[in-house]
Structure 1
Amino acid sequence: MRKKYFIAIFLVVFTMMLSSFAFYTYQIIYTPNVLIEQEDRYFAIPRGTTFKQLQDKLSDERIVNDLVSFSFLAKLKDLDTNVKNGMYLIKGDMTNMELINLLRSGAQTPVKLTFSNARLLKQLPKILTQNLEIDSAELAPILFADTTAQYYGFKKETFVSMFIPNTYEVYWTTRPKELLDRMKAEYDRFWTEERKQKAKDLNMSKEQVSTLASIVQGETNKMDEAPTIAGVYINRLKRGIPLQADPTLVFAIGDFSIRRILNKDKEFESPYNTYKYRGLPPGPISMPSIPAMDAVLNYADHNYLYFCANSDFSGYHVFAKTLVEHNVNAAKFQRALNRERIYR
């Protein structure tokens, strides 16, 4: 009888312990434990992060509510030996199991890489790495290496044209070489057969189109008149007339605060001085935008050979077919600059 009593007690205790363990196990696996009553959040795991560092990061950033239960299940699922770096979108009220499966899978959420313009190649490392794990110091030596431009089919002077301003989705963990490969792939994707044919019709290479587009872009931010400006330069190129483009001279001098070109500036010695040298300069004077390149490829067919900024400072330009007409327009703009006391 006594034996049966102890067996009954044991069964009751065992059943209670089993129930408690089952309930705890259920809580560990199926009860929300991540970003409780918080919004979805991006969570970065840098290269070389240990499991202990991951635990600390999840705790410090208030990602996980109960770190003990998370850690217990994570070790059972071998996350402690399989930490994968990346940028992950963690959703509110996830369970331990959902978070662990996400981190073990390495299923990163792409980040947006957006850039609009840069005048110089040396500005690119900071621009391109703004949302990535790599920093500018890691990208710069590769970007500036003597062989890099050649590897991608460019000269140093034209290499900047490979980077087409846009918004791209990339992985936070993207390495420098992968990033450059991606930019080259996007460049090739931009140059469709239709665009390549239009460049051929202009008797221009892709790099020359980019160079002219950068000049057009330097002249105006009003893209509705960009094809007209492109048409002026194409007319001058066809006739062998120097482009005399102020933005190329500003680029050559290297002072981008200049608002007024002086006659002495036109004597500045540089292959980018299109007052002294006919034809296109050696390469783009900035990263040309897609609208600027399309403005060149779809230039307005007209007889204008000259243009200057409108004296109303609207950002638009006035166009002329003859030098006499242009000189009248230019004198009007010079007087407007004097009135505003813009001397440089």
Structure 2
Amino acid sequence: MSRKVLRRLGVFVFLLALLAVAVAFWGWQRYSGFADAPVSGIEAGERLVVERGDSLPVVVRKLREAGVRDGHEAEWRVLARELGAAGRLQVGEYALEPGMTPRAILLAMRDGKVVRYAFTVLPGRNIRELRASLAAAEPLRDETSDLDDAALMDALGHPGQHPEGRFLPETYHYTLGDSDLDVLGRAHRAMARALDEAWASRDPDGVLASPEEMLVLASIVEKETGIAEERPRIAGVFERRLAIGMKLQTDPTVIYGLGSAYDGNIRRRDLETDTPYNTYTRAGLPPTPIAMPGVEALQAVARPAEGDALYFVAIGDGSGRHAFSATLAEHNAAVARYLRRYRQARQAERGPVVAPDTGTGPRSP
């Protein structure tokens, strides 16, 4: 072969190699631009659901349906292999937001960074209110709406247990596919742990005979005040009343006993009408909790504050705080001050002056 032909062949090979390098460089640039450039077509709040058995082509198709038009399937495949995501996309619901890149999308699906929702069990809510809130929570699957309270506790694995007070106030996170029964099961287990811890830390000289009694009293303390530092003092008042056989005389138990008949006002006939929850007509604790107590209420009952107070009444200054008294005379004076503040406030509003309930704490015997 002549030198001239060899030279031409060498030039051809060089140009071919140069072309290959150029094509590779172009492909690399295109791939890099695809992998790390924000995708177009995604609107805020868009979701993508990866279901069991979905392959990468299926996921890419779902991305197209969600508005993503960037990249060919081959580019998604190459990127998935690079990230170690091929065959490892986790089942779940994923958030697609404007500005996300293909790399970020596949990493989220590889690492299972699914959308998490939150449901909060509020302190002081009763089981009826809790179940109504759960029914409105989305996208929880409904597994309990057809169950009465007894069937619900049976489904949770606690047949015969009263549901009131058994679910710890806390925020619980869940994902698409979880059910209301899942959330309730976690809240029930959390309350069982919190109650065990509170019972283990209790004052050994206290009057409560069981964790169940602690739960009942904690639910009353929870309903009586939203002021954290007052809870041990209120728990102490109830502890002392129980110790001397004095009726608790606490309005929240009466309200609970009224159920749906309660219209926002407690009347004298309500205080005098006997129910299992009327602590004006019956001594000792009511038969069940009346609400969901938080950890602070449980700990307050475990370690009530020392003192000699047997009474408390709202101060009436809008703070939600209470005045504590050791004697009936002191308590009556505190009630008089509360009523005086109430009347002054109503007169300032130019409204009718009608004497309200004399507070949220135990009344005089």
SS of residue in 1 equivalent to 2:202? helix
Match of 2:321 among 293, 316, 319: 316
Aligned residue type for 2:151:
D
TM-aligned CA deviation for residue 246 of structure 1: 0.7
Match of 1:120 among 111, 126, 147: 126
TM-score of the two chains, using structure 2 as the length reference: 0.70
Q: Over aligned residue pairs, what C-alpha RMSD do you find?
A: 4.6
TM-aligned CA deviation for residue 150 of structure 1: 8.2
User: Which stretch of the first structure deviates more once superposed, 40-49 or 204-213?
Assistant: 40-49
TM-aligned CA deviation for residue 145 of structure 1: 5.2
Query: Structure 1 residues 127 and 302 mapped into 2: Cα distance closer, same or farther (>3 Å)?
Result: same
1:58-96 Cα offsets, whole Å, 9 max, x none, are 45766x461545885289869899864424466886653
- Pairing 1:212–2:220 present: no
Aligned to 2:363: none
SS of residue in 1 equivalent to 2:286? coil
Is contact 2:199-2:214 (8 Å) kept? no
Structure 2 spans left out of the alignment, 5+ residues: 347-352, 357-365
- Pairing 1:326–2:331 present: yes
- Pairing 1:166–2:167 present: no
Query: Structure 1 residues 193 and 336 mapped into 2: Cα distance closer, same or farther (>3 Å)?
Result: closer
Alignment of 1:125-274 (within 5 A): 125=131, 127-128=133-134, 133-135=139-141, 137-141=142-146, 144=149, 146=151, 148=153, 151-153=156-158, 155-157=160-162, 159-191=163-195, 193=197, 195-198=199-202, 201-202=205-206, 203-254=208-259, 258=264, 260-274=265-279
Query: Structure 1 residues 115 and 269 mapped into 2: Cα distance closer, same or farther (>3 Å)?
Result: same
Q: Number of matched residues?
A: 338
Q: Is the radius of gyration larger for structure 1 or structure 2?
A: 2
**How far apart are the structure 1 equivalents of 2:181 and 2:79?**
34
Aligned to 1:293: 298
TM-aligned CA deviation for residue 232 of structure 1: 0.9
SS of residue in 2 equivalent to 1:241? coil
Aligned residue type for 1:99:
I
**How far apart are the structure 1 equivalents of 2:54 and 2:320?**
55
Is contact 1:304-1:321 (8 Å) kept? yes
Aligned to 1:276: 281
Aligned to 1:32: 36
TM-aligned CA deviation for residue 244 of structure 1: 0.9
Query: Structure 1 residues 177 and 147 mapped into 2: Cα distance closer, same or farther (>3 Å)?
Result: closer
**How far apart are the structure 2 equivalents of 1:216 and 1:325?**
22
| Percent sequence identity over aligned pairs | 26
1:287-327 Cα offsets, whole Å, 9 max, x none, are 11222222222211222222222244432222222334333
Query: Structure 1 residues 196 and 48 mapped into 2: Cα distance closer, same or farther (>3 Å)?
Result: same
Is contact 2:153-2:160 (8 Å) kept? no
**How far apart are the structure 2 equivalents of 1:98 and 1:10?**
40
SS of residue in 1 equivalent to 2:232? helix
Query: Structure 1 residues 338 and 98 mapped into 2: Cα distance closer, same or farther (>3 Å)?
Result: closer
SS of residue in 1 equivalent to 2:229? coil
**How far apart are the structure 1 equivalents of 2:20 and 2:276?**
85
SS of residue in 2 equivalent to 1:134? coil
**How far apart are the structure 1 equivalents of 2:53 and 2:314?**
56
1:73-131 Cα offsets, whole Å, 9 max, x none, are 28986989986442446688665355335324534365544332353313324545777
Structure 1 spans left out of the alignment, 5+ residues: none
User: Which stretch of the first structure deviates more once superposed, 206-215 or 102-111?
Assistant: 102-111
